[in-house]
A and B are shown apart, each in its own frame.
Chain A
Amino acid sequence: MSNTSYCPNTPEDIREMLAAIGVASVDELFATIPAALRTRSFYLPPGMSEFELTRHLEEMAGRNNRSITNFIGGGYYDHLIPSVVDHLSGRAEFYTAYTPYQPECSQGTLQALFEYQTAICRLTGMEAANASLYDGATAMAEAAMMALRITGREKVVIDGAVNPFYRQVVKTYLANLAVEIVEIPTREGVIDRPLLTAAVDDRTAAVIVQNPNFFGSLDDFRDLAELAHAKGALLAASVYPISLGLVTSPGEMGADIVTGDGQSLGNPLSFGGPSFGFIATNKKFIRNLPGRIIGETVDREGRRGFVLTLQAREQHIKRHKATSNICSNQSLCALRGLIYLVSLGREGFAELARLNYDKAEYAKSVFANIPGVTILNPGTTFNEFTLALPKDAGPVVEKLLTKKVAAGVPLGEWYPEMAHCLTITVTEKRTKAEIDQYAHKMEWQCK
């Protein structure tokens, strides 16, 4: 026996078990595998102790540069995480359980996820949320498929200012289906309303927007929701959850499906995952939601309890007719999101959003003073905004990285006409001094 594989059976146990089975060796149990198929190669290193593993991974993690000040976002945000989030989500009863198929012994997970659904509804101004999807990008793809299902149509119209990664994922998901995707080119970071209006017709299932968009601009999309509805289409909006402490909810603006990435709600950057995707809608579309949904009910004594509900939509019952193939979701990350939101509470969450907004507005004012630099979206933004530099943004960002500043996301890769632009994120973690120092470095670069 090795000591590292967490197998507890002693040689004596193994002897007894083999005797009970009626075989002489463990090898005999594998006799059903034809000899011709047996493993030809299994060249793996020998195991190691926890001590050696930790040293090995510390060395590897050390090859990440961990002293960079983040002014980058693009879907993932560097926010504070109260310690209580780690401690409570780290309860092994939560993190070593699985999908709550047996509700009587899973009320902890079920009630927590019901509370999570409630919190998402309250943030977004919608009536029903599921228990999470993979991330913000796949949630948008699921929203598109949901709208296609509900309307029975075959076209989606997506704003070009939606996060380009999200747009790519929507395309990947829909690539094998007979669906037309119309992207509305953005005009300097705002929705081109005449173009979008012209694109929405009676074949359109969904109009997809993002608020704030990839450039950081906020939009009042009430008119677009009305436009979509007039054509029998749905309005799907992806939102940045922290902004909802300050900004009018997508529900109030008339969205039919709201999605987003929950990373900013108490999940660490962790090189891009795990986080969670959220999706919310109104009750009339609940049967078309993908994934797990927790519902309230009562037990035989009339006591309140929670169960996985509307399972007849799901793959384990409906197989190829399911609303989605999703099975495992991102429950633990959604739980972190709930704990984070409860920890901040009503006042704290609004205060946090305001703090992000104020810091970004301050940064805007500082950057606007740099000669040759202009703010592309001086109007309404949340905690991200876009700078137009007097030169190509890529080399500037590369240079600033050597000065330990992740300066922002250069836009040239996705918007070739905007190669001189970069989008900057300022969260509550950035201090005035960090903003000033960054602006100073930027001024130097733009000389």
Chain B
Amino acid sequence: MQMIFEKSRPGRRGTRLPVSDVPPAPLLPENLLRKKAPPLPEVSELDMVRHFTNLSRRNFSVDTNFYPLGSCTMKYNPKALENVAGLFADSHPMTALLPGGDAYTQGSLELLHELCKLLAEITGMAEVCTLPMAGAHGEMTGIMLIAAYHKAQGNKKKYVIVPDSSHGTNPASAAMMGYEIITVPTAPYGDMDLDLFKAAMNEEVAAVMMTCPNTLGLFNPHIAEICDIAHEHGALVYYDGANLNAIMGRVRPGDIGFDVIHLNLHKTFATPHGGGGPGSGPVGVKRALIPFLPTPRIALRAKGTYGLQTNRDLPYSIGRIGSFFGNFGVMVRAYAYITMLGREGLIEVSDQAVLNANYILARLKSHYDLPYDQTCMHECVFSASRQLKHGVHAIDIAKYLIDKGFHPPTVYFPLNVKEAIMIEPTETESKETMDSFIEAMIEAAETAERNPEELRQAPLTMPVSRLDETKAAREQNVCFG
């Protein structure tokens, strides 16, 4: 498909602006005046409507395809959430920060306050802060909180422990904040090896970062013990909330013993993923860490109104982590989702997510290797090692599924599973949808034995076939023209 820049014709334009009702001002001085307008495309509105509509048709999405991308919780995003988000669209964030301005933004502040309360109850944490703008941003904020906590105790610690099955963002976030990373391998029972963890643990460890259930989709059997051991050494335990969708109403990270958590509102709480964002990654903490939470913070005042606290009111705060109040529009959607589903609905979400994943696991385990053969939580991780004997890789199976109309599962993650295929159906998929996906997976396994070349040629039904990633990395063509 042509680029929008290739469709440009001098003199065409889409939008008409209001006519100026003020006199033209003298121009900027020569050195500050741009000589040529930025060469943006010149197209009619219909040109651009066709262009972007046709581009959109070159995407798989939750609304068009089953999207069992493991660890990403690609559940259905209810349309009701979209409409209500618009109710807050014209609220300027700076208004709340003007003297007396909080009186004019009570609705927005109330929403933030109420959402924090709901998330705290769902997770069993003392307080939640919605400022982080994505999961990784939440992780980084969490690590900053942990660093501030240790500093306030007079301890300078050096290390952060992560299991080898952790999301890449865990070690990346900790390293970005100056910590050295200790990686602990996974034991045959499918979680961080407890003995190796004990051996790695020392007084200089600031935090242990755990995903629970872990990225193999398993509930960590020693999770409470891991928390205890970390605490005995003066370390805090961090909960990566990517997999919260499995356990709502069954178990809460706060009750297990986690000190700091992040959530992904775009996963568990049904806000759209937007082709890669915006997300929202609230952090939750136990009481001892509340003083360090980032600013601005929402405070419920005695008279029942909401106000803001800044660094002046909160001397121990790590400070600001973004321009204003985080991805507020995402929070409206998450609040609406929790409010619509309510207590029973959220419990049902986790029940059905776990049921769906176990159904896929049960139906596929005779066709694919299952490195950790146990009841799973919300996702299951297979290996294509059996298919590899025929020269077929996980990526070939993924591409074959595209031709069958399914977005592929996550492949090659977690890193500790060879040729990993990580399937997360979510609770919003029906049995029929999963049955047809299962059929396609079985077909792929059979084709791998019968005609492996067919898998290596896939996909054939998309606008492009497999793309040359080496060429892209070598030529670094990241800008048109």
Contact assessment for A286 and B478 in the assembled complex, using a CB-CB cutoff below 8 Å: yes
Contact assessment for B37 and A346 in the assembled complex, using a CB-CB cutoff below 8 Å: yes
Stretch at the interface among B76-84, B230-238, B385-393: B76-84
Q: What residues of A have a CB within 8 angstroms of the CB of B111 in the complex?
A: 57, 60
Q: What residues of B have a CB within 8 angstroms of the CB of A66 in the complex?
A: 90-91
Contact assessment for B349 and A335 in the assembled complex, using a CB-CB cutoff below 8 Å: no
Q: What residues of B have a CB within 8 angstroms of the CB of A32 in the complex?
A: 218-219, 221, 374-375, 377
Q: Is B383 an interface residue (CB 8 A)?
A: no
Partner of A271, one of B61, B324, B354, B431: B324
Mask: chain A, 13-50; 1 = CB below 8 Å from B; 0 = not: 11011101111001011111110111111111111111
Q: Is A288 an interface residue (CB 8 A)?
A: no
Contact assessment for B34 and A244 in the assembled complex, using a CB-CB cutoff below 8 Å: yes
Query: How far, in angstroms, from A37 to B88 measured CA to CA in the complex?
Result: 39
Interface size class of A (residues with CB under 8 A): 35 or more
Known: A62-B107, A248-B34, A346-B38. A9 touches B43 (CB 8 A): no
Q: What residues of A have a CB within 8 angstroms of the CB of B478 in the complex?
A: 114, 117, 128-129, 286, 293-296, 309
Q: What residues of B have a CB within 8 angstroms of the CB of A447 in the complex?
A: none
Closest chain-B Cβ to A400's Cβ sits at a distance in Å of: 9
Which of A112, A171, A247, A346: most chain B Cβ within 10 A? A346
- A to B CB contacts below 8 Å, 26 in the list: A53-B336, A56-B339, A75-B323, A75-B324, A82-B14, A103-B464, A104-B402, A105-B60, A108-B56, A111-B1, A115-B4, A118-B481, A122-B38, A122-B40, A129-B478, A244-B38, A248-B32, A273-B278, A298-B468, A315-B136, A327-B134, A328-B136, A333-B278, A335-B274, A347-B13, A358-B24
Query: How far, in angstroms, from A123 to B41 measured CA to CA in the complex?
Result: 12
Please report the total number of B residues contacting A with Cβ < 8 Å.
207
Query: How far, in angstroms, from A115 to B343 measured CA to CA in the complex?
Result: 43
Q: What residues of A have a CB within 8 angstroms of the CB of B249 in the complex?
A: 39, 42
Extra contacts, 7 of them, besides A84-B14, A345-B15, A428-B18 (Cβ < 8 A), are A32-B377, A41-B124, A49-B340, A53-B84, A102-B60, A328-B134, A362-B23
Query: How far, in angstroms, from A99 to B331 measured CA to CA in the complex?
Result: 20
Q: What residues of A have a CB within 8 angstroms of the CB of B413 in the complex?
A: 316
Query: How far, in angstroms, from A101 to B409 measured CA to CA in the complex?
Result: 10
Q: What residues of B have a CB within 8 angstroms of the CB of A268 in the complex?
A: 89-90, 329
Query: How far, in angstroms, from A377 to B39 measured CA to CA in the complex?
Result: 31
Q: Is B243 an interface residue (CB 8 A)?
A: no
Q: Is B313 an interface residue (CB 8 A)?
A: no
Task: Give residues of chain A (396-435) contacting chain B, Cβ–Cβ below 8 Å.
Answer: 397-398, 401, 406, 409-410, 428, 431-433, 435
Query: How far, in angstroms, from A68 to B321 measured CA to CA in the complex?
Result: 28
Closest chain-A Cβ to B447's Cβ sits at a distance in Å of: 18
Contact assessment for B274 and A331 in the assembled complex, using a CB-CB cutoff below 8 Å: yes
Mask: chain A, 93-131; 1 = CB below 8 Å from B; 0 = not: 111111111111111110111110111011100011101
Partner of B340, one of A4, A112, A295: A4
Q: What residues of B have a CB within 8 angstroms of the CB of A31 in the complex?
A: 375
Contact assessment for A47 and B467 in the assembled complex, using a CB-CB cutoff below 8 Å: no
Closest chain-B Cβ to A326's Cβ sits at a distance in Å of: 6
Contact assessment for A271 and B325 in the assembled complex, using a CB-CB cutoff below 8 Å: yes
Closest chain-A Cβ to B163's Cβ sits at a distance in Å of: 12
Contact assessment for B402 and A102 in the assembled complex, using a CB-CB cutoff below 8 Å: yes
Partner of A327, one of B80, B135, B473: B135
Q: What residues of B have a CB within 8 angstroms of the CB of A16 in the complex?
A: 431
Contact assessment for A98 and B94 in the assembled complex, using a CB-CB cutoff below 8 Å: no
Closest chain-B Cβ to A132's Cβ sits at a distance in Å of: 7
Q: Is A198 an interface residue (CB 8 A)?
A: no
Contact assessment for A92 and B64 in the assembled complex, using a CB-CB cutoff below 8 Å: yes
Contact assessment for B323 and A135 in the assembled complex, using a CB-CB cutoff below 8 Å: yes
Mask: chain B, 331-348; 1 = CB below 8 Å from A; 0 = not: 010001011111111111
Closest chain-B Cβ to A14's Cβ sits at a distance in Å of: 7
Contact assessment for A272 and B93 in the assembled complex, using a CB-CB cutoff below 8 Å: yes
Q: Is A195 an interface residue (CB 8 A)?
A: no
Query: How far, in angstroms, from A66 to B355 measured CA to CA in the complex?
Result: 45
